[in-house]
Amino acid sequence: MGFNIHHLSFKQRALQVGPHDDAIKKACNSCAYRDICGGFWVWDDSRWCDEDCVNCLALCCHKPTWRSDAARIGGLSFDDIHWKPWSADWPDMIWVVGGRTGGLPEPVYVIPVDSLMDRFSLCWAHTPDLHERFSIPASSKIGISFCFQDHRLRRFRDHEDVVADALSKFNVDFVLPINYSVYRNYPRLDQLVAMRRRMLSMKLFQERGLNVIPDVGIIRDVDIDRWADWITREKCSSVFMTVQTMQGKVLTPRYRIQFGNMLKFREKIGPDVRILLQGVSATRMAFFASQLGKVSFINHAAWVKAELRLNAATDEGLRGSGYTVQDTFALNVNLLKRILYATRSSSVSSAGGSPDG
């Protein structure tokens, strides 16, 4: 986009931004998407840059193709997209796996979509029975996830029809939409386009007969209101959120802002909607559960560390001890569940009293 992100203090940012160019304010206030976007004036607390606003290519009015970018995906609203009702009895923990589990009896598993493909030829797996392919018990539910690095998502972006057709042939219970990233330091237009594209992928998967959990991306208060209104209107029983980009200790201002948005979101959607959270570390699970109420944690660390023969709680190496990947995975699952249940009973009254891990 022609700009670099780096950290500035609030004072430095205020000095750099003002005074605003009148043309920018006029273009922003007259924009057809202003109610969806929230306007330029809310950027100061969440976007950090090294250019004057007058020359910044991250601003919509300075990007020549912004109107065509929005028009290409049918606008930036997602009010025209509807959710096909589907519900499940979600457990506290959901496990992401990339290989054979050894038949560990857990209620729900999630499989990354690239585990269904040959990494080099990009051909889809020929075995439609994923319970057999990943040695998952027949009683367990299976979901598909698109949560991985953006550069790996690009190969799906222009071939979503092919992806949807392929997934419809597997025996999956649900799918998480393609997780186009919504980062706080992205240009606002990019954030809104990513939100719209997530919802378009949900619509496409539903048209192929797949059950989909809506993928929520929140940056600002206007996003909270938009998503909460949509979820209430569609009567969604569960939603998916990833917090993998929430970095740093919980005492930092940035973390408090992001977690504060999640608390506002929970208040808006009410206590009955289950939130499926991915990216929460073991030491923070109890804190998130105590603050957000009805949540399930989607955990990838148990499998990733099992492949490396590492204890998920201590990172202690288990190579040479006779542990297989499946043995280590079972150990990690039990350890992480124990951590959650052991700490969940303790009352956490505020973010200041929560774990920093």
What's residue 2's pLDDT? 31
CA distances from residue 170 to 131, 133, 147, 174 in whole angstroms, order as listed: 10, 11, 19, 11
Task: Quote the longest CA-to-CA distance of the chain.
Answer: 69
252 in Cβ contact with 272 (< 8 Å): no
Q: Which of 143, 154, 206 is nearest to 176 (CA)?
A: 143
DSSP state of 310: B
268 in Cβ contact with 230 (< 8 Å): no
What's residue 315's pLDDT? 78
Residue entry with tokens 């009410």: 270
Q: Does the pTM of the predicted model rise above 0.75?
A: yes
280 in Cβ contact with 237 (< 8 Å): no
355 in Cβ contact with 284 (< 8 Å): yes
| Strand (E) or helix (H) holding 222 | helix 221-234
Q: Which residues fall within 8 angstroms of residue 326, CB to CB, at 6 or more apart?
A: 100, 101, 102, 104, 306
What's residue 350's pLDDT? 42
Q: DSSP per residue over 94-130, as a string? A: EEE-SS---S---SEEEEEGGGGB-TTT-PBPS---H
276 in Cβ contact with 296 (< 8 Å): yes
Q: What is the pLDDT along the chain (357 residues), one digit of tens a residue?
A: 233 333 333 333 433 444 455 666 677 777 888 888 887 654 444 444 555 666 666 677 777 788 888 889 999 999 999 999 999 999 999 999 999 999 999 999 999 988 887 654 556 777 789 999 999 999 999 999 987 766 667 777 778 898 899 899 999 999 999 888 877 767 788 889 999 999 999 999 999 999 999 999 988 889 999 999 999 999 999 999 988 766 555 556 777 888 889 999 999 999 999 999 998 888 888 889 999 999 999 999 999 999 988 888 777 887 667 789 999 999 999 999 998 887 665 544 444 444 443
Contacts 24+ apart (CB under 8 A), 112-115: 112/144, 112/145, 112/146, 112/147, 112/148, 113/144, 113/145, 113/146, 113/156, 113/163, 113/167, 114/148, 114/152
What's residue 47's pLDDT? 44
How many other β-carbons are positioned within 10 Å of the β-carbon of residue 265?
23
Residue entry with tokens 């009293």: 353
What SS3 state is found at 308?
A: coil
The Cα–Cα gap between 238 and 132 comes to 27
Q: DSSP per residue over 243-260, as a string? A: -TT--S-TTSHHHHHHHH
The yes or no reply on domain 93-353 and CATH 3.20.20.105 is yes
The Cα–Cα gap between 220 and 265 comes to 11
Identity at 215, one-letter amino acid code: D
What's residue 357's pLDDT? 39
What's residue 11's pLDDT? 34
What's residue 342's pLDDT? 79
Which residue spans of the chain are classified as CATH 3.20.20.105?
A: 93-353
What's residue 245's pLDDT? 65
What's residue 43's pLDDT? 46
What's residue 114's pLDDT? 84
Please give the structure tokens belonging to residue 157.
Answer: 């972006």
Please give the structure tokens belonging to residue 180.
Answer: 């186009």
202 in Cβ contact with 214 (< 8 Å): yes
How many other β-carbons are positioned within 10 Å of the β-carbon of residue 126?
7
Contacts 24+ apart (CB under 8 A), 179-182: 179/145, 179/146, 179/147, 179/148, 179/153, 179/215, 179/242, 180/150, 180/153, 181/150, 181/153, 181/245, 182/217, 182/218, 182/219
